[in-house]
């Protein structure tokens, strides 16, 4: 039987069913609606939780492209499968999504995210022993308003029943750009992750010119204060880079931390440049070694310092050092040549100019010789016995490597110091400092997931800094759902002792969620109408896809029509 074109339609499902199943399984929509309920009298079609979920699906929908928060994203998606039959794609318009961001902002961006993260983290057993903090800058372009001095008012159709104080939005402004886009205004995102799933446990959006030194430690302190108010919250070890160290020493109090020590501190410089034979080293895996700096002191806080040396880093840094030495020699050889061709009124002036010219030398020293410039100043042929007069002075310099400085610089390469105020060896052994610190890479991986070079904020519902701030939370929720999905799949594969093919068609138990998402490209929902009968089919599912859907559980199987 031939089906007329007007009686058939298709919608794009792809990997969004997997993401929707995770959102449903962790109860994200319900948890948000519990905190930001809508007034029933206003007749809103969408809850705040549904709007947030829609934006998460949007954020996870473009796996190869820059993020575009696009209100029409759901127009060709099976909304009834991703949500339920009570909503349709037209409900998710720009006004609705914009007002959803407003209500998130009014509740408190960090407040809402932290409550959701701890709630879900405890439910899913995703909280680890430590929380790893880092920051990144996110550049923005497009038109948005800078002025939001008045508190936001609830929409007539979407008035939440909570009473929360309005806060001042972040300042979208110029600052140090980690994205190498100093021409664009930006905001700073502070993120903390925990556990084997790289689970985001804390986020804060900060002014575009915020300093890492201020942001990292104050965020850790706020997170600790928040944890005190929660039940079943673990006692975290707060881990950060060197920007966090000095404020931790001065202000952390009882908060336990682990940080890289700033190399600019005199106490650190002393240990970083001592000869190898000054230490008793303990070998570690992968070319590392360590030693406990028992006599190290900084501030009035009792702490442990561990000096780490990496063979791989030392080899790399020594090559860079040699290039700098060679470049310095090349540059200052030219400087000395130009000095040697100048005339000075006296040898004192010549030495002053010469020493000033080479003041910035790091790896070389210069030996100077000044010589008088003698000439016969009278016109005509000089008479016999006439002595030439001194008319000026010149200077010649010999450039030599400063072996003492170079030796000290070489000792420093491959070394860094980790410090912690956790004095209990049973809680944090010396050998655990390095593995714990190296987990920082997971937070950096989270940043790479969240951002491309820029956010597109031209969309009408992102025209205010407060909404951009709320969007930062949405993007961190994207990372949360992504992390849970990836961890869930890997756990299921490990438990079943099964594998899936990776990009190179090699079997693995540790696939990335990004690769799995790409496998699902082309999965559609067909709707066929024959008279009063309507039939829907999920098409283009392979055997591998069906197996993956099974790992995600009954909710995913229902979305992809593999169960009733």
Does 424 score more than 60 pLDDT?
A: yes
Tell me the per-residue pLDDT of 50-103, one tens digit each, with 9 for 90 and over: 999 999 998 888 654 444 556 678 889 999 999 999 999 989 988 888 899 999
Does 150 score more than 50 pLDDT?
A: no
Average pLDDT over residues 493-501: 95
Band of residue 155 on the pLDDT scale cut at 50, 70, 90: very low
CB 164 within 8 A of CB 420: no
Phi, psi (degrees; rounded to nearest 5) at 368: -105, 145
Does 140 score more than 80 pLDDT?
A: no
Nearest CA among 85, 77, 70, 59 for reference residue 12: 77
Q: What is the pLDDT of residue 529?
A: 85
Band of residue 173 on the pLDDT scale cut at 50, 70, 90: confident
Provide the CB-side half-sphere exposure for 165 (13 A, CA): 2
Give me the sheet containing 8-12, strands edge to edge. Answer: 8-12, 524-530, 533-539
Q: What is the pLDDT of residue 233?
A: 65
Q: What is the pLDDT of residue 493?
A: 96
d(CA 144, CA 186): 12
d(CA 82, CA 132): 33
Task: Write the burial class of residue 198 (CB in 10 Å: 0-12 exposed, 13-18 middle, 19+ buried).
Answer: buried
Q: What is the pLDDT of residue 35?
A: 95
d(CA 393, CA 374): 9
Tell me the per-residue pLDDT of 287-302, one tens digit each, with 9 for 90 and over: 999 999 987 778 888 8
Q: What is the pLDDT of residue 159?
A: 37
CB 238 within 8 A of CB 133: yes
Q: What is the dihedral of CA 321, 324, 326, 327, to 10 degrees?
A: 170
Q: What is the pLDDT of residue 52?
A: 96
Average pLDDT over residues 159-168: 43
Q: What is the pLDDT of residue 212?
A: 65
End-to-end Cα spacing for the chain: 27
Band of residue 171 on the pLDDT scale cut at 50, 70, 90: confident
Band of residue 104 on the pLDDT scale cut at 50, 70, 90: very high
Band of residue 497 on the pLDDT scale cut at 50, 70, 90: very high
Tell me the per-residue pLDDT of 25-40, one tens digit each, with 9 for 90 and over: 999 999 999 999 986 5
Helix or strand holding residue 411 (H, E): helix 403-412
Q: What is the pLDDT of residue 378?
A: 74
Tell me the per-residue pLDDT of 175-214, one tens digit each, with 9 for 90 and over: 767 667 777 777 888 888 999 899 999 888 877 777 666 6
Does the pTM of the predicted model rise above 0.75? yes
Does 118 score more than 80 pLDDT?
A: yes
Tell me the per-residue pLDDT of 11-29, one tens digit each, with 9 for 90 and over: 999 999 999 999 999 999 9
- Per-residue tokens: 312: 């791989």
Q: What is the pLDDT of residue 141?
A: 65
Residue 519: Cβ within 10 Å count = 18
Place of tokens 């074109």: 5
CB 16 within 8 A of CB 82: yes
Better-scored residue on pLDDT, 398 or 218? 398
Written as one string, the DSSP assignment of 137-166 is: EEEEES-------SPP---TT--BS-----
d(CA 561, CA 263): 58
Average pLDDT over residues 401-419: 96
Q: What is the pLDDT of residue 165?
A: 36
d(CA 401, CA 528): 81
Place of tokens 């993956």: 548
Which of 383-392, 411-420, 521-530: highest mean pLDDT?
A: 411-420
Q: What is the pLDDT of residue 428?
A: 95
CA dist list (Å): 338 to 341, 343, 362, 373: 5, 11, 20, 16
CA dist list (Å): 533 to 85, 411, 492, 536, 538: 18, 79, 38, 10, 17
SS (H, E, C) 320-360: HHHHHHHHHHHHHHHHHHHHHCCCECCHHHHHHHHHHHCCC
Tell me the per-residue pLDDT of 301-317, one tens digit each, with 9 for 90 and over: 889 999 999 999 999 99
Band of residue 441 on the pLDDT scale cut at 50, 70, 90: confident
Average pLDDT across the chain, whole number = 85
Q: What is the pLDDT of residue 462?
A: 62
CB 532 within 8 A of CB 81: no
Does 560 score more than 60 pLDDT?
A: yes
Does 488 score more than 90 pLDDT?
A: yes
Nearest CA among 248, 278, 243, 240 for reference residue 264: 243
d(CA 179, CA 10): 39
Does 229 score more than 90 pLDDT?
A: no
Percent of the chain beyond pLDDT 90? 54
Tell me the per-residue pLDDT of 340-360, one tens digit each, with 9 for 90 and over: 999 999 989 999 999 999 999
Question: β-strands 524-530, 533-539: how paired?
Answer: antiparallel
Tell me the per-residue pLDDT of 516-530, one tens digit each, with 9 for 90 and over: 999 999 999 998 888
Q: What is the pLDDT of residue 295?
A: 75
For the ranges 139-153, 253-267, 428-442, 504-518, the lowest mean pLDDT is seen at: 139-153
CB 226 within 8 A of CB 268: no
Better-scored residue on pLDDT, 532 or 314? 314
Q: What is the pLDDT of residue 206?
A: 77
């Amino acid at each position: 039987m031939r089906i007329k074109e007007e009686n058939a339609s298709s919608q794009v499902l792809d990997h969004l069913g997997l993401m929707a199943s995770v959102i449903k399984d962790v109860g994200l929509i319900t948890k948000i609606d519990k905190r930001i309920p809508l007034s029933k009298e206003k007749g809103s079609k969408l809850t705040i939780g549904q709007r947030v979920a829609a934006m998460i699906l949007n954020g996870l929908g473009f796996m190869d492209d820059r993020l575009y928060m696009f209100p029409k994203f759901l127009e060709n998606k099976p909304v009834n499968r991703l949500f339920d039959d009570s909503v349709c794609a037209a409900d998710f318009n720009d006004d609705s999504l914009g007002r959803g961001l407003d209500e998130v902002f009014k509740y408190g961006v960090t407040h809402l995210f932290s409550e959701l993260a701890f709630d879900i983290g405890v439910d899913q057993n995703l909280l680890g022993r430590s929380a790893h903090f880092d920051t990144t800058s996110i550049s923005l372009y497009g038109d948005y308003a800078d002025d939001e001095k008045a508190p936001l008012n609830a929409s007539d159709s979407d008035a939440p029943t909570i009473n929360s104080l309005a806060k001042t939005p972040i300042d979208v402004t110029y600052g140090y750009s980690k994205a190498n886009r100093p021409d664009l205004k930006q905001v700073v995102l502070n993120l903390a992750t925990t556990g084997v799933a790289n689970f985001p446990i804390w986020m804060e959006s900060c002014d575009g010119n915020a300093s890492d030194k201020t942001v990292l430690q104050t965020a850790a302190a706020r997170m600790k204060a928040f944890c005190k108010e929660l039940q079943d919250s673990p006692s975290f070890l707060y881990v950060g880079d060197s920007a966090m160290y000095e404020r931790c020493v001065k202000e952390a109090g009882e908060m336990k931390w682990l940080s890289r020590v700033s190399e600019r501190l005199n106490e650190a410089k002393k240990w970083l440049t001592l000869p190898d034979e000054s230490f008793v080293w303990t070998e570690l895996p992968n070319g590392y070694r360590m030693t406990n700096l028992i006599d190290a002191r900084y501030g009035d806080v009792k702490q442990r310092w561990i000096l780490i040396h990496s063979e791989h880093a030392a080899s790399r840094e020594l090559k860079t050092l040699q290039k700098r030495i060679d470049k310095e020699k090349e540059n200052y050889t030219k400087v000395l040549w130009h000095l040697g061709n100048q005339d000075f009124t006296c040898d004192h002036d010549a030495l002053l100019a010469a020493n000033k010219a080479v003041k910035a030398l790091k790896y070389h020293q210069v030996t100077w010789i000044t010589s008088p410039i003698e000439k016969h100043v009278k016109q005509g042929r000089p008479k016999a016995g006439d002595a030439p007069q001194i008319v000026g002075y010149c200077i010649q310099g010999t450039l030599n490597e400063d072996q003492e400085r170079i030796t000290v610089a070489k000792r420093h390469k491959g070394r860094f110091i980790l410090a912690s105020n956790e004095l209990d060896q049973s809680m944090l052994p010396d050998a655990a400092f390095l593995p714990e610190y190296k987990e920082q890479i997971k937070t950096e991986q989270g940043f790479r997931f969240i951002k491309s070079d820029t956010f597109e904020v031209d969309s009408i519902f992102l025209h205010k800094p407060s909404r951009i701030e709320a969007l930062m939370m949405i993007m961190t929720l994207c990372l949360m759902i992504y992390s849970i999905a990836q961890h869930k799949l890997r756990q299921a594969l490990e438990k079943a002792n099964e594998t899936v093919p990776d990009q190179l068609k090699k079997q693995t138990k540790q696939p990335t969620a990004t690769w799995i998402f790409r496998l699902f490209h082309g999965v559609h929902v067909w709707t066929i109408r024959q008279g009063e009968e309507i039939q829907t089919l999920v098409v283009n599912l392979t055997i591998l896809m069906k197996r993956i859907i099974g790992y995600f559980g009954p909710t995913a199987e229902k979305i992809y029509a593999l169960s009733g």
